[in-house]
Every structure is written in structure tokens, then in C-alpha cells.
Amino acid sequence: MKPAFAIVFAVAFAIAYVASVVNNYALFTYHPAIGEFGLGVQKGKDGPAMYWYGWLATSGIVASLAGVFAALLPESATRRLWPGLTWSVALVAIAVLAYDLRQFFLK
């Protein structure tokens, strides 16, 4: 594994996950009441709709593509990538997600 893949995957996953949650970019929807999957974002059928799996799929695909692209670049182009981006972007992502959930803690 190249360091560029590790760094870019972590950064892209965190950003794509936040974007997926905030804008509901779920690749698919799961309907637990009837045990069915549906492509894209769908309303619940006979119960709630679950998007978390779809957010993970969206983020995983985006991060994999970004990581592979970064790994294919010449080393001179990725040498200056700061490894600290991995955890610092993830930290910001969690701060955004926690802020998005603030209503639960303020009720």
C-alpha cells in the first residue's frame, strides 16, 4: 500500500461520509420491516427506511476511487501530502456530524 492511498482514502472517506449524511447521498436504502433493499434514496416501505448502509457504500466507493487515483500519481505529486490529514479531517468530520446531532442533546 502506498502512503498516498492511505492518506487520500481516509480524507475522501470522511468528506464523502459527511456529504452523504448531510445531503442523504445513500447509494441504496434498506427497508428493515420487509427486508428489502432499494437503489438510491427511497421512502420507507411498511416502516422506517435505513440509509446508513447506503452512506457507507457511497463513501467507500468515493474513497476507493480517490485513493487508487492518488496511488497512480507519480510520487513527486503526492510526496507533500501531510499524513496528519488522516486524523485531522476525520476530527473535523466528527465535529460537523456531532453539530448536526445537537438537537438531541439540547432537548
Report the interface residues with another protein, using CB under 8 A.
1, 3, 5-7, 9-10, 13-14, 17, 21, 30, 32-33, 47-48, 50, 52-53, 55-56, 59-60, 63, 67, 83-84, 86-87, 90-91, 93-94, 97-98, 101, 103-105, 107
CB of 50 to another protein, least distance (A): 6
CB of 101 to another protein, least distance (A): 5
Element of type H or E holding 48: none
CB of 90 to another protein, least distance (A): 5
Which of 41, 50 has the CB closer to another protein? Answer: 50
CA 27: distance to chain centroid? 11
Q: Pick from 69, 63, 55: which is nearest to 86 by CA?
A: 63
3-state percent helix, strand, coil for the chain, nearest multiple of 5:
65, 10, 30
DSSP state of 50: B
